[in-house]
Amino acid sequence: MRNEFIQHPTENVIIEVNKMFSIGDGIISVGIEELKEVISGVENVLLLSGKGSGQNRVSDSIEDAVLHTCATAPGYNLFAAEKVVVQLTYSAQHELTMEEIEGLTQFADMFPSSTRFLWGISKSKSMTSPDVIARIVAANIKLKS
């Protein structure tokens, strides 16, 4: 998934994101219905992807994805999104720990309580590195005030 800001996303965007989210075996799956719920009928959608490694690989992957916001959607505030989906993908050879998932919880806490926040975790048999890939879909983000 490439970093992209899309005004008035179509059904094709939902299908493309679903393909990216379906790469690994879903441990906690985000499916087409959840993606439709988040993307259908919105004004805009921000697609972000990041990679993290080391002891804080989940937090680092999310941070890497978030850092693309400025270049991808200049002037917009990711943390004002109405709906957010985060998909974490890791190698089957390098399991995630509950401690690492805390990075996802901290990220969710950065949004207002009114934000609809969904997340999923998938294990990839084709990934061999210990990296974690974070894919973020944020819908109806607002301009910075």
CATH T-level fold of 4-143? 60s Ribosomal Protein L30; Chain: A; (3.30.1330)
What is the crossing angle of helices 98-108 and 57-67, to 10°?
Answer: 30
Domains of the chain, by residue range, sit at: 4-143
Closest CA to 122 of 140, 109, 113, 135: 135
Q: What is the dihedral of CA 7, 9, 14, 15, to 10 degrees?
A: -110
DSSP string for 68-101: THHHHSTTEEGGG-SEEEEEEEEETTS---HHHH
pLDDT for position 24? 56
pLDDT for position 23? 58
Question: 0.85 cut: is pTM over it?
Answer: yes
Q: Are 87 and 134 in contact (CB under 8 A)?
A: yes
Token pair belonging to 134: 């974070």
pLDDT along the chain (145 residues), means of 10: 91 87 71 90 96 95 96 96 96 91 95 96 90 96 93
